[in-house]
Amino acid sequence: MLRGNSPFALAALANVYELTRRYDKAIETYDRIPKESPLQKAIEIRKAVNMNLLDQVDAAKTLLDRIAAEQPDDIRPLVTLGDIMRAHKRHAEAVEYYTRVIALTPKPESRHWVYWYARGTSYERLKKWAQAEADLQRALKLAPDQPLILNYLGYSWIDQN
């Protein structure tokens, strides 16, 4: 663990760079971790998050799309893509990624509410109220006391008269 080339030590160092907002150094450090590391997929997702924070959105998207293609049953790159696209107001793309996440969630549990919430807010921004309301209500069924859902749905109902 104390070796300078240990994947865990390098991941910890990259995390320190992230905490200090030195995203370029975090990416460089992640790149030093051997590709055969069991941490590789998580590392690549972290790299993409850092690229996004450096306004390299398309590079982050390319990396995450590759990971998603290599691991079609893994929702992590898709959730990250949806979140990045939504943060950059690319709501139509966000809807596509969240839809893929939801398709990979055959037995939704309360912890999955966020996928419907995120897609619902994206639909609302696209002025597709029927789809937005359906997703927000599905999120509410999964997490009935979640204040984010209650607030968004309540204010949206007011906006929709």
Q: Hey, what amino acid is at 146? A: Q
Lowest mean pLDDT among 2-16, 53-67, 101-115, 138-152: 2-16
Q: What is the pLDDT of residues 110-123, one digit of tens each?
A: 999 999 999 999 99
Q: What is the mean pLDDT of the chain?
A: 95
Give mean pLDDT, residues 35-58. Answer: 94
Is the predicted pLDDT of residue 4 greater than 70, yes or no?
no
Q: Is the pTM of the predicted complex or chain greater than 0.85?
A: yes
Q: What is the pLDDT of residues 10-40, one digit of tens each?
A: 999 999 999 999 999 999 999 999 888 888 8
Cα–Cα distance list, 83 to 13, 35, 57, 128, 140 (Å):
25, 26, 12, 19, 19
pLDDT at 2: 57
Cα–Cα distance list, 20 to 13, 50, 158 (Å):
11, 12, 41
